[in-house]
């Protein structure tokens, strides 16, 4: 594609989750909503065998899609939950393997969490099953015995800890699964819903049922593709402004979406997931994840990140950088400015527009005042002779 300073508006991909691989159906706050977005850029701006990078990997949408398309992913995120949610989907076990492993895990019905979780889980049975699974996974990891089946069960259980009205979660009705309520908030939810009390939920059955859903599109051909790539995939936890684990000129394509401006509290939203995985919240809150409180700090952060992306991108390689919307500034123009100052060439800015269905209007969706949903992706290229 030739260099073009204009924006291009159109419907380049669908935002329908269900039209993508079932492996993508893992909830996470502030992630690529449509897997078709990274797929669009991976298919057009890289080739099988190329290295595809995401410095803000989140739940791993870019990494999983890259692997499905026979590219080698490098998945980077300072949040330790990212690898937990991503790696298992590059090496999925069979459903029968998951069932056998779950049946082998002993439940201690006297086990307790050490913190009050009675507002979420049926005491004592569901809480005991959650704690027993947590203890099993911790012992397997600490003893060096953790394998791909354990990692898969950990990933699935991590996404089932709390959720909405569905019986597919361990908890009573709570906030959406990508945003855990605090104990105090959950108590208020329970009171507001007429004094709801946690009923028994069978943890192993829920893990197995969700596993079946995630694996429904995993054919022998898909397994062969993932197997060809998973051993070469890399997981790093660098600050995007100092990608020490990624060498100069080693990445063919970056597809990413940066952190929001002070909108997501990852530690608060993920406190239950952190507890289940025995991760100190300090690793997430302030210690590892950069919190951007204003437009100036966001621009500085993006500028430093762009300089690193220029360094690691192969001459002739591409960077596809998604940005959100704000009334205060045109973020896509800020990203374009930061990228060009770093030495990248602006190729084009894609503005993907998808009209909502009638159902969306029932829920009061009025994005862009026209009932549309947009993604803005600024595409750069590192000059071939730089």
Kindly state whether residues 271 and 309 are assigned to the same domain: yes
Kindly state whether residues 14 and 75 are assigned to the same domain: yes
For residues 307 and 328, what is the distance between their CA atoms, to the nearest angstrom? Answer: 25
- State which residues form the domain around 363: 7-83+218-381
Laid out side by side, the sheet with 251-256 consists of 7-10, 345-355, 372-381, 313-323, 251-256, 51-54, 72-76, 234-236
Based on the structure, what is the number of domains in the chain? 2
Last residue of one domain, picked from the residues 214, 232, 255 = 214
What pLDDT, on a 0 to 100 scale, did the predictor assign at position 164?
Answer: 78
What pLDDT, on a 0 to 100 scale, did the predictor assign at position 109?
Answer: 95
Kindly state whether residues 347 and 230 are assigned to the same domain: yes
What pLDDT, on a 0 to 100 scale, did the predictor assign at position 35?
Answer: 85
What pLDDT, on a 0 to 100 scale, did the predictor assign at position 177?
Answer: 72
What pLDDT, on a 0 to 100 scale, did the predictor assign at position 138?
Answer: 98
* Residue 285: other Cβ atoms inside 10 A: 17
Question: For the domain that residue 254 is a member of, what is the CATH number?
Answer: 3.40.50.150
What pLDDT, on a 0 to 100 scale, did the predictor assign at position 9?
Answer: 86
Give pLDDT < 50 ranges for the chain: 1-4, 17, 287, 356-372
Kindly state whether residues 236 and 338 are assigned to the same domain: yes
Kindly state whether residues 168 and 231 are assigned to the same domain: no
Kindly state whether residues 251 and 373 are assigned to the same domain: yes
- C-alpha angle with apex 244: 31 to 89, nearest 5 degrees? 40
For residues 18 and 201, what is the distance between their CA atoms, to the nearest angstrom? Answer: 26
pLDDT tens digit sequence for 254-275: 999 998 766 566 678 889 999 9
Kindly state whether residues 307 and 258 are assigned to the same domain: yes
239 domain-assigned: yes
What pLDDT, on a 0 to 100 scale, did the predictor assign at position 229?
Answer: 97
pLDDT tens digit sequence for 58-79: 999 999 999 999 999 999 999 9
Kindly state whether residues 37 and 66 are assigned to the same domain: yes
What pLDDT, on a 0 to 100 scale, did the predictor assign at position 260?
Answer: 72
Write the DSSP assignment of 56-73 as a string of letters.
S-TTTHHHHHHHHTTPEE
Please list, in sequence order, all residues whose beta carbon lies within 8 angstroms of the beta carbon of residue 13, skipping any fewer than 6 positions away. Answer: 34, 36, 37, 39, 40, 352
Kindly state whether residues 192 and 231 are assigned to the same domain: no
Kindly state whether residues 306 and 163 are assigned to the same domain: no
């Amino acid at each position: 594609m030739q260099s073009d300073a204009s924006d291009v508006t159109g419907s380049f991909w669908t935002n329908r989750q269900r039209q993508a691989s079932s492996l993508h159906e893992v909830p996470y706050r502030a992630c690529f909503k449509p897997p078709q977005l990274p797929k669009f850029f991976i298919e057009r701006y890289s080739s099988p065998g190329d290295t595809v990078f995401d410095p803000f990997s989140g739940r791993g949408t870019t990494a999983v899609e890259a692997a499905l398309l026979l590219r080698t992913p490098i998945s980077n995120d300072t949040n330790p939950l990212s690898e937990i949610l991503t790696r298992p989907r590059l090496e999925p076990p069979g459903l029968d393997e998951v069932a056998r492993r779950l049946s082998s895990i002993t439940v201690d019905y006297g086990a307790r969490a050490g913190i009050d979780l009675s507002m979420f889980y049926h005491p004592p049975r569901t809480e005991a099953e959650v704690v027993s699974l947590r203890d099993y996974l911790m012992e397997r990891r600490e003893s060096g015995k953790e394998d791909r089946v354990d990692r898969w069960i950990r990933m699935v259980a991590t996404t089932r800890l709390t959720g909405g009205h569905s019986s597919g979660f361990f908890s009573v009705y709570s906030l959406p699964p990508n945003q855990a309520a605090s104990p105090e908030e959950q108590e208020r939810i329970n009171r507001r819903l007429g004094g709801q009390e946690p009923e028994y939920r069978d943890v192993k059955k829920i893990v197995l049922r969700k596993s079946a859903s995630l694996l429904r599109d995993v054919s022998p051909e898909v397994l062969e593709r993932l197997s060809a790539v998973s051993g070469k995939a890399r997981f790093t936890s660098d600050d995007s402004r100092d990608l020490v684990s990624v060498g100069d000129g080693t990445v063919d394509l970056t597809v990413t979406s940066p952190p929001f401006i002070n909108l997501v509290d990852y530690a608060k939203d993920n406190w239950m997931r952190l507890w289940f995985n025995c991760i100190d919240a300090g690793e997430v809150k302030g210690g590892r994840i950069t919190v951007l409180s204003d437009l100036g700090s966001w621009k500085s952060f993006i500028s430093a990140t762009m300089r690193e992306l220029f360094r690691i991108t192969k001459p002739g390689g591409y960077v596809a950088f998604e940005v959100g919307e704000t009334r205060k500034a045109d973020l896509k123009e800020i990203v374009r400015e930061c990228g060009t100052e770093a030495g990248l060439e602006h190729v084009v800015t894609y503005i993907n527009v998808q009209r909502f269905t009638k159902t969306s209007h029932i829920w009061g969706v009025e994005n862009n005042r026209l009932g549309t949903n947009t993604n803005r992706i600024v595409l750069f290229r590192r000059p071939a002779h730089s």
